[in-house]
Structure 1
Amino acid sequence: MDWPLQDAKNQFSKVVRRAREEGPQVVTLRGVPAAVVLSAEDYAALRTGSSNIVDALLGGPAWDDDLVADVQRRDKAPSRVPAL
């Protein structure tokens, strides 16, 4: 259900109760969704298993075996002669 901000402020306990019983409640500001009130259970479900930015950057995609072999097989010498 959508709640205009003023109504959500005036009936906050009702917003929370409905979030627990019916699911997420959207709070609007001038008719535009501005926030969502979730039950603690729904919030915990969203947070479970989430990684942080460091984990995401370090995790990256797995390299396939062909790419690993190509990288290990490449010539170790520089491909260009340094400019003098």
Structure 2
Amino acid sequence: MRWQVQEAKQKFSEVLRLAEAEGPQVVTRHGDEVAVVIDIREYRRLKGEEMDLRDYLLQGPTIEGLEIDRSTEPTRAVDFGGDR
């Protein structure tokens, strides 16, 4: 969608919402394209800053100091209903 500068200023929240939901929003001044408002995820992708799954997971919390208590009882038998 195209927005004149004055309209984009008045409806900035809508411009942002549409950039996120529908894609880039072009801003014009005197009919000339002067700017594009894009979703932050698209900006990061274009800059090459988008993380892959591995990097995303590595930035998560660590398990240092995590204490897990496990039962020492034997596991139960499971009947699969066949001749296994």
The verdict on a shared fold, with TM-score over 0.5 as the criterion, is yes
Runs of at least 5 residues in structure 1 that lack an aligned partner in the other structure? 50-84
In terms of fraction of residues, the more helix-rich structure is 1
Query: Scaled by the length of structure 2, what TM-score is found?
Result: 0.57
Counterparts of 1:5-84 in structure 2 under 5 Å? 5-48=5-48
* Amino acid aligned to 2:15: V
CA RMSD of aligned residues (A): 1.0
Encode CA deviations 1:7-66: one digit per residue, 9 max, x unaligned.
Answer: 0000000000000000000000001100000100110110017xxxxxxxxxxxxxxxxx
Runs of at least 5 residues in structure 2 that lack an aligned partner in the other structure? 50-84
Identity %: 47
